[in-house]
Chain A
Amino acid sequence: MNVDELIELFREDTLRLTSGVTHVWAVFWANLKMFLTYRTWVVTETLSTVASIAMYSFMGLQVDAGRITAAGYGNVDWLAFALVGVATANYLWMCISRISHTMQHEVSEGTLEPIISSMIRMRSYIVGQSIRGFLVSAYFMVGALLIGLYVLRVALIVNLGTLVSFVAILFMMIASYLGIGIMAAGIILVYKKGDPLTFLMASVTEFLGGVLFPLKYLQDYPVLWWLAWLMPYTYALDAARAVLLTGATLISLNVLGDLAILGIYAVVFIPVGLWVFRWGCDRIRYEGTVATY
């Protein structure tokens, strides 16, 4: 056999018959099927969500309602105030950490190499994984809000206007953090660790975002106050609370202002995240460390 002919044959670019959308769907569907086999995890996480909402309702019995009103949130119950915070914070970090967690998993299981060497584009892979993560996280968030609304009778304002606005806020919140999630995934590819960092970021975000207490109480600590308003989540939570607790919608100026800031974060962070991810992919290919852990 003529070796040159054989090399030429391998060099020939195979026609890609599938579009990016098909790739994304394939990744999403494969991962959703895998996820559905983890029934114990789904059951335990569902019970855990119910337990945590119940726990917050008992914690709320100790809160002085006047302090929430004095902090400028109107005449709302603390449980309603905390429920919006807890549901959105959990949703955000389940979505964002999913990308880096999946990457860590693929690296440690040694399945990253087959994925990279397949015809699936890494971009399609990330998007497919993210959609799966968004849907699974949405299940827990909607579950938490429904328990609050219908079991604990939490006074959230739910109508078409507030629902559309809330979904728009969630979308912008995820977009503003997506770059960070993709960046973490790129770092994990190279350094093989990094998942704990996303976990720490989740705790910091919950603390500085004012999930359990009004942000006004951070004003006495100027550095923390400044850091809180540097985080996109603070704006997302501010808008979500304005919508679900006071009935504001997308046409309210304060909500629009928050969304605009989230948009700026998305525009800045997504390209940076993609750049870091590409750098990570190229580097492990160059170093030959795709399959090492």
Chain B
Amino acid sequence: MDPAQLVKILSDETPRRKTPIPQVVASFIARDFKIWWTYKFWITLDISGILIFVATYYLFSLITSPQQIQEAGYVAGGYFTFALIGIAFQQYVFFAVQSINMSVREEQWNGTMETVLSSATDFKAFLLGETCFYFIISSAFLFISFSVGYLLGASFYVSVTSLLSALVLSALLIASHMAIGVLSAGIIMKTKQGNPLTWAFSWMTQLVSGVFYPLKLLPWYLEWVGRIFPLTYSLDGIRLCLQACQDLTSSAVFSNVASLIVFIIVATPISLYVFKIGYDAARRDGSLGQY
């Protein structure tokens, strides 16, 4: 073989076929699903964990009084429905945010990060694909939580408009937490340590976002801290829709929607900026693939 000929062939510019971003994202979702499906034992454990958690709060609800829940405006369903919504959505966002971090960490840990980035795939498409996949899986777990809760006696007071409003609030919940996920992924890129952030996010939201109790039970300073987190507005809005049949025309629900939109408008550029700093710094240091 003529080496000069070989060099010439290898030097040829391969035309880049621009794959549409939705197709790239769909490929990542399919890839992640195939990998996820091989860990059936983990899936079983995750589902068992959800069942046990919901069952625990069902039994806990039997010793509670519905007074505070009703005073907070959630008129139907009592404590169990209140806690079910809180637990299901808190787990939903925590699982999704943690999973985004984990996927970045795993790519670094397994040494596949550089392989992914040296391909023609844009990193933003990679991150979007990973995020979408984990939100899809989280949605499945959310559905399981609600189904188990319904079987155990959770009851809702809804209309078509209140259900649609709850869907709008859920979409805003996802958008706001995508920003948090991207922010922590950016920090992980540089520091290689992300757990403290997700961990703080988890216990802070459990404490101050009204997952297990109405916000009115908190002292004013913790209630104020709770207003930093988008989960607080999402839970209040979703509960008002599902437990009090309110919709976007109600001032309380609308105010929650407005707060979430403000959070998304402020947090998304900041998180993308932090991510860019982390990503560029890791590329500059040559530590993108390092663990």
Determine whether the beta carbon of B196 is less than 8 Å from that of A40: yes
The answer on a CB contact under 8 Å between A217 and B63 is yes
Q: Are A58 and B212 in contact (CB under 8 A)?
A: yes
Whether a CB of chain A sits under 8 angstroms from the CB of B220 is no
**Residue A4 at the B interface, CB < 8 A?**
no
Cα(A63)–Cα(B60), bound, Å:
9
Q: How far is the CB of A147 from chain B (nearest CB, A)?
A: 14
Q: Which chain B residues in 42-66 approach chain A with CB under 8 Å?
A: 42, 45, 48-49, 52-53, 55-56, 59-60, 62-65
A204-B56 Cα distance, complex, nearest whole Å: 10
Judge whether A67 and B62 touch: CB under 8 Å. yes
Q: Is A268 an interface residue (CB 8 A)?
A: no
**In the assembled complex, how far is the CB of residue B42 from the closest CB belonging to chain A, in whole angstroms?**
6
Partner of A51 from B48, B59, B60, B203 at Cβ < 8 Å: B203
| Interface SS of chain A | helix
B218: interface (CB < 8 Å) = yes
The residues of A that contact B55 with a CB separation of less than 8 Å are 207
How many Å lie between the Cα of A197 and that of B42 in the bound state?
9
Partner of B52, one of A47, A55, A207: A207
Residues of B183-237 whose CB lies within 8 A of A: 193, 196, 199-200, 203-204, 206-207, 212-213, 217-218
Residue from B56, B203, B212 in contact with A207 in the complex, judged by beta carbons closer than 8 Å? B56
- Determine if A64 and B49 form an interchain contact, defined as CB atoms under 8 angstroms apart: no
A229 is an interface residue with CB less than 8 A from chain B: no
Is there contact, CB below 8 Å, between B199 and A48? yes
Cβ of B268 within 8 Å of any chain A Cβ, yes or no, is no
Interface contact A203-B49, CB-CB below 8 Å: yes
Please tell me if the beta carbons of B212 and A63 are within 8 angstroms of each other in the complex.
no
Q: How far is the CB of A146 from chain B (nearest CB, A)?
A: 19
Let me know if A48 and B42 touch, CB within 8 A. no
Contact B63 A214 (CB under 8 A): yes
Residue pair A64, B63 in contact (C-beta under 8 Å): yes
How many residues on the A side are at the interface (Cβ–Cβ under 8 A)? Answer: 32
> Within A175-221, which residues are at the interface with B (CB < 8 Å)?
193, 196-197, 199-200, 203-204, 206-207, 212-214, 217-218
Q: Mark A44-56, 1 if CB is under 8 A from B, else 0.
A: 1001100110110
- Shortest distance in angstroms between A8's beta carbon and chain B's nearest beta carbon? 45
Q: CB within 8 Å of B: which of A85-99?
A: none
Question: Given the interface contacts A44-B199, A203-B53, A207-B55, does A67 sit within 8 Å of B63 by beta carbon?
Answer: yes
Partner of B207, one of A54, A203, A213: A54
Q: Does chain A have a CB within 8 A of B79?
A: yes
Give the chain B neighbours of A199 by CB distance below 8 A.
45, 49
Residues on the B chain within 8 Å of A78, using CB = 63
CA distance A206 to B52 in the complex (A): 9
Asked if B52 and A63 sit within 8 Å, CB to CB, the answer is no
* CB contact under 8 A between A213 and B200, given known A51-B207, A54-B207, A61-B68: no
Question: Quick check: is B41 within 8 A (CB to CB) of the other chain?
Answer: yes
Whether B59 and A206, one on each chain, are in contact in the complex, defined by CB atoms closer than 8 angstroms, is no
Which residues 101-124 of B have a CB within 8 angstroms of A?
none
Q: How far is the CA of A217 from the CA of B52 in the complex (A)?
A: 15
- Interface contact A63-B63, CB-CB below 8 Å: yes
4 tightest A-B contacts by CB?
A67-B63, A64-B65, A213-B59, A51-B203
Q: What are 19 sample pairs from A and B whose C-beta atoms fall under 8 A apart? A: A40-B193, A48-B199, A51-B204, A51-B207, A52-B206, A54-B207, A55-B206, A58-B217, A62-B64, A62-B79, A62-B217, A63-B64, A206-B56, A207-B52, A212-B60, A213-B59, A213-B60, A217-B62, A217-B63
